[in-house]
Amino acid sequence: MKNISSKLNSAENHFAKKDYNKALTLFGDILIEMPDFNPAKIGVLLCDLALDHEHESHALYDYYTILRKTKNIKADEILLEAIKSFDGNIDKISDFFRSINSSKIDAIDGIMYEDFKQMIERRGSFKRAFEDLMYSTKIVISGHDDFIEFMNKLVDNGFKDVAINYLENAGGILPFDEDIRHLINKINMIETLEEKS
């Protein structure tokens, strides 16, 4: 099982980096050893989906990683059902996310980022809205752009350490791209200024 876990981790990293051929090979190797292993089945399906619908495939993958960390949610079943119902119709995948967001959020014990943005508007500032939630509620982010936006807002509003914690936890999931590099440089500049003052 240790070998399977290592292969799965490697396959998911290749998927996150958009190296679908390598990811597909690794997921396939796992399925040869364990034909009913759902995470590998999902990996194969997401790689296949990414060839024509990359954005939607990665959105599903991001959501899957969130679900897997949540107790009492059958992440594999939810994702397999979503992929099965998706036949290239973008509206279907959008409907899926809307239904998931409304029906599963209680089980996730958190608030979707879109809802949090509405809360910011009501509270009048990011800082006030985040302070209201930071000790009691998870903010569930299902896309790369929202994650980057949220991280930048954390840093800009004095929550640099929280942003660093999020980045460390997401290290194995998010590809290291220009947005992440820019965010890390921004944090490093703030830390340098803090050391000088």
Asked whether residue 51 falls in the same domain as residue 92, the answer is: yes
| Last residue of one domain, picked from the residues 73, 106, 139 | 106
Asked whether residue 120 falls in the same domain as residue 80, the answer is: no
Count of CB atoms situated within 10 Å of the CB of 144: 17
- 47 three-class SS: helix
Asked whether residue 44 falls in the same domain as residue 58, the answer is: yes
Please write the tens of the pLDDT for every residue from 7-66. Answer: 999 999 999 889 999 999 999 999 999 999 999 999 998 998 888 888 778 878 877 777
User: Residue 155: which domain range?
Assistant: 109-197
Question: Rg (Cα) of the chain, in Å, rounded?
Answer: 18
Q: Against a cut of 0.95, is the pTM above it?
A: no
Asked whether residue 39 falls in the same domain as residue 133, the answer is: no
Q: How far is the C-alpha of 151 from the C-alpha of 141, rounded, in Å?
A: 11
Asked whether residue 97 falls in the same domain as residue 5, the answer is: yes
Asked whether residue 99 falls in the same domain as residue 14, the answer is: yes
Q: Is the pLDDT of residue 134 over 80?
A: no
Asked whether residue 97 falls in the same domain as residue 115, the answer is: no
Number of domains observed in the structure of the chain: 2
Lowest-confidence segment of 15-19, 21-25, 69-73, 153-157 by average pLDDT: 69-73
Which of the 8 DSSP states describes residue 177? -
